[in-house]
Amino acid sequence: KSHSSPKEMLPWGRMTSHVRISRTFRYDLDLAADIWKDRPALPCTKVYLLSDELCGRSFQEKLQEVRQQMKEAGAKTHFLSKLDDIMWLTNLRADDVECNPVALSYCLVTEDRFYLFLQKRALTPEVEDYAGKNGILLEDYHSVVDFLRTFHPDSDILYDQKNISYTLYRLLQDAAKRAGVSLIDQMNPTTLLKAVKNETELKNIREVYRRDSAVLTRFIYWLKQNVGKQEITEYSAATKLDHMRSEIPGFVELSFPTISAYGANAAMMHYEATKDKTATLKPEGMLLVDSGATYMGGTTDVTRTIVLGPISEEIKKHYTLSVMSMLRLANLIFLQGSNGVTLDLAAREPMWKNHMDYKCGTGHGIGYMLNVHEGPQRIAWRSAQGSVAAEIMDGMIVSDEPGVYKEGSHGIRIENILEVQKDLENSDGQFLKFGMLTYAPIDLEAIDPKYMQQEDIDHLNAYHQAVYDKVEPLIEEPEIKEWLKQATRAVG
């Protein structure tokens, strides 16, 4: 917790304090307005309500926890501008940001009032009725600046400097000066509350991932059966998978644009094919597909690198190491209190042992019917600059996605999603483990057991047995059932 001034603590203050010339720092101008003549209006989609049964906890229950944490921080006022935090707290969703079911919004929480700033055109009678019943004071999204200019807090104000614009920070600073109170810079209480899923959310997430995994399994079968027999491009393959997902009951939208990268394109971690710029798939090499969706019941993310034909021994080695890395982390048992830096070594060790590394983190948090990237948890071998690695806690969801990226040659990523669960507790403390959420086959055509220890082989075989048990009942086509049996056969 820190009480901040703009020069001492804030990144904007640090930036301006190093300028050794006379300057006026203007934050109240829209420099783009004069030259952006065809500037579109802000997105404004209808806000909709999620039931308490779907969320597991009501708005009032969540608000009570936020106010308790405000009290513990020494604040009676809290300003919140992080969209997914606001959506989680209010149990509302919208579609104002592509692939993120959020509404443009702000909120201000006091001891006895809750102000929610939404665009007027986004409101529906259902949302207005919900607000009235829950004591939510609806304000116009576009009025937040004027509101803060006249706001007079009666206590210190809690805010998160990493998730607020400089203009709004200065308005809060002015309000604090008027009232003779301080600003308290601290991570939004909602950030951690949101990251630790409740039992209802976890139950829904498990089922959503099972259905999502079944669709991915059917897609892998389709791709292997048809590559070289009909024209398939990176783009058309992604479109096919997107359409298959859209047919799952409860589908809302993709959680990010599908990454479909063939051959050397897969070495670019966030490559995106377009209709006009796309490679044609051949019955050789591999296709990396990183994809996911938001459903009524959860948000998914998964990556599989799929063998389309002959591959080199080097690629087999890299693929096998990627699978080993993913399964090493997934099967890790660790002591409560561990952070993502502690855990990362389990995934990276097979790579480092072979003097290799993937130049990215191993895992990130995932939202519940919200953003596919969510904090504060992160699994990486070192903390992001200026931050402290967050504890990995029971109920969190994290991705597990090691890989190999060789520029000009190939890229491999194997991504499963994990649920943090309690394991044994004894005199040494509470131990935690991971539960698997993703159940899609690993491509055995790229596995070479000679690089694996017996424990790695056992992990792979156990995982594939679970894939078959979870997914087979959701597959109707006999030919896909038979293929799945072979695709998940024991190796070694």
For the stretch 132-168, pLDDT in tens is 999 999 999 999 999 999 999 999 999 999 999 999 9
Average pLDDT, the chain: 93
Query: 386: which residues sit within 8 A by CB, 6+ positions away?
Result: none
d(CA 160, CA 170): 13
Tens of pLDDT, residues 258-295 = 999 999 999 998 899 999 999 999 999 999 999 999 99
At 2 the pLDDT is 40
Ranges of residues in the chain with a pLDDT under 50 are: 1-9
Q: Write down all domains in the chain, each with its CATH number in brackets.
A: 2-194 (3.40.350.10), 196-487 (3.90.230.10)
> Cα(68)–Cα(66) distance, rounded to whole angstroms?
5
Q: What is the pLDDT of residue 237?
A: 98
What is the reported pLDDT for 57? Answer: 96
Residue 433, both tokens: 């483990």
Distance of CA 447 to the CA centre of its chain: 29
